[in-house]
Structure 1
Amino acid sequence: MPKHDKIARFSVSLPESLLDELDAMVERRGYQSRSQAVAALARDGLVEYASQLGTESVAGTINLVYDYKKKGLQAKLAAIQHNYYLLIVANMHVHLENHNYLEVLLVQGRASELQKLADELITCRGVKNGRISLTATTIPPLL
């Protein structure tokens, strides 16, 4: 939240069971208050909303777990990444057990383009698990 933002107060009505779950989340995650938790949930929801619209520029990660012994998979993943090279800031992979790699791509761009990239990577045969996680802001430009 920018320092110049003023705090606005509003009232929210929730079923008691939902409020109990919110209070449990506040305690488990260590939020200082319900307000802090609700603000975090609102930010997450706004990022998801922006990604559905696809017009906002955001940053985030794409995480993949895949079998590196699957014939042609690494070449296919590399080819897809080359097609989207302007969106990929950096990537790394880590060797896991049982012929698996964990690959993490740091990405930035229009949310709709990042989702398209993630979908192409995640749906490759041999990718066992994939997820995209977007933030509300972008990475500052390097000068």
Structure 2
Amino acid sequence: MQRVTVSLEEDLAEAFDALSTEQGYGSRSEAVRDLIRRAIAERGEAAADGACVASLSYVYNHHTRALAQRLTEISHAHHDQVVATFHIHLDHDHCLESVMLKGPTARVRALADAIRAERGVRFGQLNLITVEPNGRHDHASGDHRHGPHEHLRPAVG
């Protein structure tokens, strides 16, 4: 077994201890191991080689040096994956963003990881849904006109 040291703010440590006790853990270590196991299991649920649609939500402090600019630059660099962004001002310091994503699962996960890893981003949560192409078609008639494209549908599972 390996020992890992983690530093937590006092209020976060107290909240974690309360949660651990509430859920019946005998120690912080067992609670942390269970959180890690759960994260690893969730990560493996969606095949990395398939396609997905996803919602990434996170909170950040907009006063963190250049963070809003970095987040915008990341989104622009991945414009093929970012479908839409929803931005809410929570208070004078914090914002909530939900970013709708689509594309190859591995690339969507990598983008979500990059955003969550930015200094100042907190509470990042990715909700990923595996999809499969539903055939290419073209809307060339009527009022609805655009070029050939694929639609996606939730994967049967």
TM bracket (short chain) = 0.5 to 0.7
Task: Quote the Cα distance in structure 1 between the aligned partners of 2:45 and 2:106.
Answer: 11
Q: Relative to 1, partners in 2 of residues 1:138 and 1:81: Cα closer, same or farther, differing over 3 Å?
A: farther
Task: Quote the Cα distance in structure 2 between the aligned partners of 1:119 and 1:135.
Answer: 16
Q: 2:87 aligns with which of 74, 85, 93?
A: 93
Residue segments in structure 1 that go unaligned for 5+ positions in a row = 1-44
Residue segments in structure 2 that go unaligned for 5+ positions in a row = 1-40, 140-145, 147-157
Task: Give matches, 1:1-143, under 5 Å.
Answer: 48-50=44-46, 53-137=47-131, 143=146
Deviation beyond 3 Å, 4+ runs, structure 1: 45-48, 138-143
User: 2:50·2:132 contact (CA, 8 Å) conserved in 1?
Assistant: no
For the residue of structure 2 that corresponds to 1:97, the secondary structure is: coil
User: 2:59·2:96 contact (CA, 8 Å) conserved in 1?
Assistant: yes
Greater relative CO (CA pairs within 8 A, separation 6+): 1
Over the matched positions of the two proteins, sequence identity in percent amounts to: 24
The TM-score with structure 2 as length reference comes to: 0.55
Point out the structure with the larger strand share: 2
For the residue of structure 1 that corresponds to 2:80, the secondary structure is: coil
User: 1:47·1:136 contact (CA, 8 Å) conserved in 2?
Assistant: no
The TM-score with structure 1 as length reference comes to: 0.60
Q: How far apart are residue 139 of structure 1 and its match?
A: 8.9
